[in-house]
Amino acid sequence: MADICVIGGTRFFGKLLVRRLLDDGHRVTVVNRGRAPDTFGDSVRRLRADLSVPGELAAAVAGERFDAVVHQMCYSPVTAVEAVEAFGERAGKYVLTSSMEVYNADTFRWKIPAPPMSAFAREKELDPAAYAYDTALPWHDPDFAGPNYGEGKRQAEAALTALAEVPVVLARVAHVVAAEDDFTERYGFHVDRVRAGRPIVAHARPGRTSLVHAPDAASFLAFAATTDITGAVNVASPDAADVYDVCAAVESALGLVPQVIEKEDAPGDPDLSPFSCPADFGMATDRAAALGHRCAPVSQWLPALARTVADQEGN
């Protein structure tokens, strides 16, 4: 049994992570602002901290010691530095929930040109130890942080790697798809449009991308927190998918044929599929498999998820 601290944990796959840790018999402390309800009852400890307020995290965890800290809310080097300062050596390891967006060559802002990336990138193609970070940038400004999400995650990885006094895992998570509590609404986007007979726009000759089922993302984070693995790890289903694969799953669930329109000028179109890419953009999953964690193939879970989402959207 381990003492695990989850920063965040009240929405999307963070809730599944907490539930997975509890089911496995671990003691869980959740750190968040305390504004979102949860269903954990007395099974978790709760500490309150608003990460946008300097010093609140450090005050909340003062004197606490954990076997691992899973940071679901680290979007910038500022947040990473504050976490390191708050926990010091009192965290057995850090698990940072990062993103596939760290590999997106179009989002590199302060390293021009971007380093070369494979269409399905491997972890070694982006070394956080060799990447610079800048805490003086206005990371707390949503108008800055939002458009620079990928850069924020890269710099968070770099800061944590450079400063942490304990082992670090960087979980580079693919597009997460969930049947419930998916605030991104990426999958519901397709269900809604097909049901309404509205077109779905795609890039001309759309590429494939990496997806991961929410339970698998949560399972990996729990695995990372409770084993001795370290370093960057891509978290994704081993098979990629494109917008047509997503639409085929929706068609099987609704019995309605999606209308997909490919456009050369697709960016900015309000009907552009969130899963459409102008070229292949995803991640290789060899390292995760070698470490002992395999996510289920998209072909196994996407059709069933489509039926669940369709049923929920119809109610």
Go through 47-86 and write b for each residue having 16 or more CB atoms within 10 A of its CB, e for each that does not.
Answer: bebebeeeebbeebbeebebbbbbbbbbbbbbbbbbbbeb
- pLDDT of 121-163, one tens digit each? 999 999 999 999 999 999 999 999 999 999 999 999 999 999 9
Stated pTM of the model? 0.94
- pLDDT of 160-208, one tens digit each? 999 999 999 999 999 999 877 777 788 889 988 998 999 999 999 999 9
Distance CA 226, CA 198 (A): 45
Q: What is the DSSP letter of 262?
A: E
Structure tokens belonging to residue 315: 């109610």
pLDDT of residue 165: 94
The alpha-helical segments, DSSP class H, found in 40-115 are 56-61, 77-87
Side-by-side strand order, sheet with 27-32: 45-48, 27-32, 3-7, 68-71, 94-99, 168-173, 231-235
- pLDDT of 86-111, one tens digit each? 999 999 999 999 999 999 998 997 77
The CATH number given to 3-175+213-235 is 3.40.50.720
In words, the CATH class of domain 179-210+238-279+297-314 is alpha beta
In contact, 102 and 126? CB cutoff 8 Å: yes
Residue 71, beta-bridge partner list: 7, 96
> What are the extents of the domains in the chain?
3-175+213-235, 179-210+238-279+297-314
Distance CA 200, CA 197 (A): 9
- pLDDT of 272-305, one tens digit each? 999 999 999 999 999 999 999 999 999 999 988 8
